[in-house]
Amino acid sequence: MTQSKPLPSFALAIAPIAVMFGLLAIGYGLFGLQIEALLLTSATFTGFIAYKMGYNWDEIMNAIVEKLAKAMPVILILVSVGGLIASWMVSGTIPYMVYWGLKVISPQYILIAAFFVTSVVSVCTGTSWGSAGTVGVALMGVAAGLDVSMAAAAGAVVSGAYFGDKISPLSDSTNFAPIVSGTTLYEHIQHMLYTTLPGFVIASVVFFFAGQYGDVANVSEPQKVLDILAGLESLYNLNILLIVPPIMILWGAFTKKPVLPLMLAASALALLIGVFLQGFSLQQALQAFVNGFNIDMLNANGHTTDGLVPDIAKLLNRGGLFSMMSTILLVFCAFAFAGILSLTGTLNVVLGRFLHLIHSTGQLILSTVIATITVVFTTSDGKLALLIPGELFQNAYRKMGLDTKNLSRTIEDAGTIIEPLVPWTAAGIYMASTLGVATLDYLPWAIQCYTGVIFAIIYGFTGFGIAKAPVTQDNDSLSPVDVK
């Protein structure tokens, strides 16, 4: 987008950002107002500034449309993720993975098992909340039956749940981070491994040794786990064919196939499995794909859900194209604000002032971490913690000759994964209420969630794991700005 009007003064440039932070911190953080309305209010204020600078309505609208056009690929992927999850419920793929996750738990190694099982489920499903709210709840029941520290067990579940939220191609945050940072999904996932795998190893070692609670090998499984296993066996035809759809996704990820066609193909395959193997009608399968799967569909399919433990309904009632509409609405509102900011050039002015204080890659990474965590603490929203630093720092990374996948990795390390460690965020409240352990109690054990930040800062100052911008990338420096 070309800059056709004089750049604003620093005071005028910082105003819309300050207003946005203030509205979100007070309106959303204190009073719980709808975040979409607050973002639109911020966009309106920013549009008024753009109008006073000489931009007309058509220019403002074109700026918003141009910004949304860049987000369209991730919006289509987000919609497909909702359909994919629902189709895997129809086929029995997700229930099958949960079933075997519970079957392989060894009571002697409950903590490491909880970490591994939730990691596998979250990678395959791409949802931290879904993993914690389904298999995580069952694993907490196992821990309670074995008299294991509930804080440690909750930390293991949260760590595993957010491991997948960082690297699964099905995760909405994993798709969102690269699009706001100007990189691609698979480059982002591969670069995340630099900070994610060391944290995974450290967490595995800690949970392995901390989970040795004496002779518990003969302790029987809690009744809740047995009830879940029996319920899944009664509702689905569980066999090895059900893992074909996730194998297709993993194969596509490793071979870098286009994400959207791959997801649609895996969804179609899962729906066919549901029709021919699980006995659903084509109408039921398509209804679930669009509106989301519901356990009542199994009643219409010749099964009875009476007497099942409530955890099974929590597992199954998910997905659907419409389930992603709230996230997409947030993207539209946020990018309306970001589009007008880009039009007026205010980001260049703000960065031009603060970039004078940044002279090294380490300082840039550290600044990104601080900014991202600040957004999490002030707005209580993980997606905004990706969007705002992604927009603010993108050109700064290019100016230093760094690939923007460094930015996407850093904002996920300091945003998505830090969110469940803050008691007043939606993720922190959800995890605490779902697992029955206070956020600050499981925080020390949520090792996977804070090691990423530590490694990100270390890499920034040592240069290890820092990718330089490829020759084909636009590495133009920021235009000099006359800060008034």
At residue 402, φ and ψ (nearest 5 deg) are -105, 145
Give me the mean pLDDT over the 253-257 stretch. Answer: 73
Q: How many CA atoms lie within 13 A of 302 on its CB side?
A: 6
Residues with Cβ within 8 Å of 258's Cβ and at least 6 positions away in sequence, in order, are: none
Quote the percentage of the chain above a pLDDT of 90: 30
Instruction: Give 479's pLDDT tier (boundaries 50, 70, 90).
Output: very low
pLDDT, tens digit, for every residue of 9-34?
889 988 988 898 888 888 877 887 88
Pair of tokens at residue 85: 């999850």
Give me the mean pLDDT over the 31-43 stretch. Answer: 87
Is the pLDDT higher at 260 or at 147?
260
Give me the mean pLDDT over the 152-167 stretch. Answer: 90
* DSSP track, 101-118: HHHT--GGGHHHHHHHHH
What pLDDT, on the 0 to 100 scale, is given for residue 218?
40
Instruction: Give 477's pLDDT tier (boundaries 50, 70, 90).
Output: very low
**pTM for this structure?**
0.70
Burial of 56 (0-12, 13-18, 19+ CB in 10 A): exposed
Residues with Cβ within 8 Å of 436's Cβ and at least 6 positions away in sequence, in order, are: 140, 150, 154
96-105, 395-404, 454-463, range with the lowest pLDDT: 96-105
pLDDT, tens digit, for every residue of 110-154?
889 889 988 988 887 777 877 787 678 767 766 765 667 889 999
- For helices 57-91 and 172-181, give the axis angle rounded to 10 degrees: 150
**Per-residue 3-state assignment (H helix, E strand, C coil) for 246-289:** HHHHHHHHHCCCCHHHHHHHHHHHHHHHHHHCCCCCHHHHHHHH
Give me the mean pLDDT over the 376-388 stretch. Answer: 75
Give me the mean pLDDT over the 291-319 stretch. Answer: 82
